[in-house]
Copies of this chain bind each other. A is one copy, B any other.
């Protein structure tokens, strides 16, 4: 399932959704991160302000991967969304 981020406001509800799908409370997820529930709550309430590093850790726990989608070359292979193309770099 892919969720394209068009605006920063979208991240928050998506994050909460992912956490719930994983059946985790803020406290449970915070424990996995090694921080307090209150600290995690702060992150979840404004994920745009978090560092990539921090979001990445959370997403790893939730089984979610970050992807960068180049819109410039989008049109060339409309249906060829091969697994990973980062090897080209």
Contact = CB atoms under 8 A, between A and B. Distances in A.
* Interface bracket on A: 35 or more
Copies of this chain in its oligomeric complex: 2
Interface string A1-23: 11111101011011001100110
Interface string A54-67: 01100100011111
A67 B69 contact: yes
20 contacts: A1-B69, A1-B70, A1-B73, A1-B85, A2-B68, A2-B81, A3-B67, A3-B69, A3-B89, A4-B65, A4-B67, A4-B83, A8-B53, A11-B52, A14-B89, A18-B70, A47-B52, A63-B70, A65-B69, A66-B66
Given A6-B65, A47-B52, 14 more contacts: A2-B67, A4-B66, A4-B67, A18-B68, A21-B70, A21-B72, A22-B72, A48-B51, A48-B56, A49-B51, A49-B52, A52-B52, A64-B68, A66-B69
